[in-house]
Structures are given as structure tokens and as C-alpha cells.
Amino acid sequence: MRTFTVMLADDEKTLLMGMLQGVPWNDFGFNLVAVADNGQDALELIKEIHPDLLISDIRMPFMDGLELARILRENLVNIKIVLLSGFDDFNYAKKALRYEVSDYLLKPVDLEEFTGLLKRMHDEIENEIETRLSRERQLKLYNDNLPAIQKNMLERLFQINNEDAVIEKSQLEDVGIILPGAFVQVIYAEIPEDSSNSLNTMSVTEIIRDMLNNAGKVYMLKNGAGWLYFICLEKSDDVQLVLKALEEAAVSAKKLFGYAFSCGAGIPVDDIVLAKESYQQAKKAISYNKLQKDDSVTYYNDVLMNDDLHVKEYVDKNYRDPDISIDSICQELHISASHFSKIFKRQTGTSFSIYLAQKRITEAEHLLLTTDLKSREIGELVGYQEPNYFSYVFKKQKNLSPAIFRKQMRNSNA
């Protein structure tokens, strides 16, 4: 029996301790890897450890379980979600379905019901893996690859030079290659051959295609030692969704097969004639990627901006923005999240979330000691719209609430 990872999120300490100590997780094929008492911390932990299953209360401080589920789905995180609620609310159940929640249980949940849930979730994850690894399915995928006429047309598209006749969009449509978006982007991936089972390579190519399908229509074909993915996007900003899909595919491949693939992504173009440029950029990006031991995915802009990226300076100027996030910064700078995180850690020695909290709390300390502004007002000035969350983060860093910190510091300086 495979062992999968599970994370708990609930602000009821009694219930959390009961699940921690009273549930025989290993007996049902799960390893409990993390707990959180609010949705915001849960989100940060999920980004870091990539658990297979999340069991979360709906009502939690700072971010509820439904909002957490929504964000995870929007970011294409491959995780099973189970929500717990003390309220039999039909609206909760409807939203849970919208966010592809696997199960929805009412509190209190007894041990028999809970262990039954764990068995169902383990079977569900196990069956999905077995389906993906099925030899028959892999052979079918191989045999059902692009028809020869479509493959030849796409290969011609990438071989065009300035002297050649231009392939029109209508010519592609004539052979069944439909391009529904206004932009196209080319991804090039090199996947290690598995000597014990060569069809595992097909499974990895399918993982990549499945994830990319969340961003747009995808065509895939073999290209030399690698695989080309030709993706149609509604707008150029969808590139961030593509990059998230590739990062999540890398996590899934690592979990299933224990190895990573190398992947380069070109810049989206708004003319089919320019697809070759995106292809060449993808090839250059993957060459850069091979020099970076910790990277699976490299966006061409990451290569262009590697030496000129002052991400710490950007955060120092914009930390007061309550909406600042890795996603918003990458959208603004046109780089990938993985590249941003790597450069940011190199420049600061820590992660974005830790640095941002420290920066905000340091400024909050200054304002608490030099002004008579209320804690709520100070929280808003440093980027926290939710007063309770500001107090939570401040106390987590300083072991004192903002009010007590101000009082003690002023008394000591009196």
C-alpha cells in the first residue's frame, strides 16, 4: 500500500489534538505532515510541502476553508480537499462542489466515519495513480498521438524561415488544428527515459499535457530528444497560469516517478507566423535550465532578466500594498514564480513570505513607537487589511500584541 501525505487545518485546538493523537493515520496509508490553525498559514504550508490530501475546517480565522479551496484550484494545485463544517449549510455544499472538494463532512465526526473517509480518500488517490500508470492506457496514448498530417504541419510551422511561404492559421484549421486563443506559446520539455519502464515517459508527457489543458488548448508532438507543447491562450497574461501548470506537473512527476523533467517556455506571440520564435526561446530557456540544478521549469524572460532583476528593491517599495504577492509581482515583472523565489532568496537569504512579514512588522514597530495611531490603522499602513491578522502576525514575531508591545516599550523608555 502506498503512503500519501495529509495536512490538517482547523482552529479548534481540541478537535485538532483529537485528530492528531486519536487517528491511526499510518494504518490507512497516510503520513500526517503538517497542521495549521488558520487558512493563511495552511496555504503557505501547502505551497511548501505539497501534501496529497488537505482536511480543513470551513470556518477559520483570516481565510476560511472555502476560500482556501478556491485559491488552491485557481493555482492548479493537485491536492484532494475534504472540508469539515459544524453547519449543515446548502450554500457551503454548493461552493464545495464548485471548487472540486472531494468530500464534505458535518461536525462532530466520529472515529468510524473519519477512518472511513481516510479509506475512501486513499482509494481515490491510489486509483488515479494506477489509472495514470496503466500500461494499456499508456499504449493507447502513444498510439493516439497527433495524426501524421497534423504532426507534419506543426513541424513545418517550426521550420519556417523568412524566405519560406507562410503557414496561415486557416491551413492549420484545414487539418484539424484549431487555435481558439489570440496567443500561442511553445513549451519544450526533455523527460528522462525510464530504463525499467519506457512507457513511464509517456505518463510524464501526459501529466504535463493534462496540467497545461487548464490554461488552454494543447497540441503535443515528439521533437528530437524532447517534446513540444503548442498551447493556445486567450491573453498573454495567461502565461502565469501556464507556468503554474508546469510547476505543478513537475511536483506530480517527482511524486510518481522520483525524477524531474527539464522544461523551457517561450514567450506567447500573437501571430502564428511568430510561433517559431517562441519555439527557439523555449529551446534557449531549457539550455539555461540545465545549468540550474534546482529548476525544472524556466521561462525565457527568466533568462533575459536574470542579471537585472532587483526583486528585493521591488518588495521594499511595494510592501505596503495589501495585494502584493509572488503572483502579482511575477505578473508585473513577467517572470516565473520559481525564478522569482530563487532570485529573491539569493538577494535576501530568506523566502518572500518571511521577508514581507518581517518588513511589515519592522515598520509597524516604528509606527507604534513614534505615533499615536491605533493598531488597526498601523496594520493597514503596512499592508494588513484585516486587523486580527495583523495582530496575529505581530504576536507571532514579537511574542506580544501590538498594544502591549507599545506599552512596554514606552514604559521602558520613560
pLDDT at 28 over 90: yes
Please, are residues 54 and 42 in contact by the beta-carbon 8 Å criterion?
Answer: yes
DSSP state of 106: E
Q: What is the mean pLDDT of the chain?
A: 87
Query: Is the Cα dihedral 355, 357, 358, 362 positive or negative?
Result: positive
Q: What is the pLDDT of residues 29-82, one digit of tens each?
A: 999 999 999 999 999 999 989 999 999 999 898 999 999 999 999 999 999 999
Please, are residues 163 and 276 in contact by the beta-carbon 8 Å criterion?
Answer: no
pLDDT band at 21 (very low <50, low <70, confident <90, very high): confident
Q: What is the mean pLDDT of residues 339-351?
A: 90
Which CATH number applies to 4-133?
3.40.50.2300
Outline where DSSP puts E strands in 49-102.
Answer: 53-57, 80-85
pLDDT at 202 over 80: no
Q: Buried b vs exposed e over 236-251: b needs ≥16 C-beta within 10 Å? A: bebbbbbbbbbbbbbb
Grouping H, G, I as helix, E, B as strand and the rest as coil, residue 64 is coil
Looking from the CA of 127 toward its CB, the CA atoms found within 13 Å total: 6
Q: What is the CA radius of gyration of the chain?
A: 24
Q: What is the mean pLDDT of residues 212-220?
A: 91
Residue 264's closest CA among 167, 190, 375? 190
Q: What is the pLDDT of residues 348-375, one digit of tens each?
A: 999 999 999 999 999 999 999 999 999 9
**Amino acid letter, 249:** A
Please, are residues 338 and 295 in contact by the beta-carbon 8 Å criterion?
Answer: yes
β-strands 217-223, 297-299: how paired? unpaired
Domain boundaries of the chain, sorted by first residue: 4-133, 140-304, 307-414
Q: Is the domain covering 140-304 a CATH 3.30.70.270 domain?
A: yes
Looking from the CA of 195 toward its CB, the CA atoms found within 13 Å total: 0
pLDDT at 127 over 50: yes
Q: What is the mean pLDDT of residues 246-267?
A: 88
Grouping H, G, I as helix, E, B as strand and the rest as coil, residue 255 is helix
pLDDT band at 166 (very low <50, low <70, confident <90, very high): low
**What predicted TM-score, i.e. pTM, was given to this entire model?**
0.83
pLDDT at 263 over 50: yes
Place of cell 503520513: 31
* Cα separation, 193 vs 327, whole angstroms: 33
- Percentage of the chain exceeding pLDDT 90: 51
Q: What is the pLDDT of residues 87-122, one digit of tens each?
A: 766 677 777 888 899 988 888 888 888 999 999 999
Q: What is the mean pLDDT of residues 11-18?
A: 86
Q: What are 31's strand-pairing partners?
A: 5
For 233, the grid coordinates are 491562450
Identify the CATH assignment for 307-414 out of 1.10.150.120, 1.10.10.60, 2.10.25.10, 3.40.50.10070: 1.10.10.60
- Residue 65 has phi, psi (to 5 degrees) of -65, -35
pLDDT in the model for residue 156: 80
Q: What is the pLDDT of residues 284-307, one digit of tens each?
A: 999 887 776 666 889 999 888 776
pLDDT band at 170 (very low <50, low <70, confident <90, very high): confident
pLDDT band at 243 (very low <50, low <70, confident <90, very high): very high
Write out the DSSP string of 168-213. PHHHHHHTT----SSEEEEEEEE----TT-TTHHHHHHHHHHHHHT
Alpha helices in 134-168 (DSSP H): 135-143, 148-159
Q: What is the pLDDT of residues 138-165, one digit of tens each?
A: 656 655 666 777 888 888 877 755 455 4
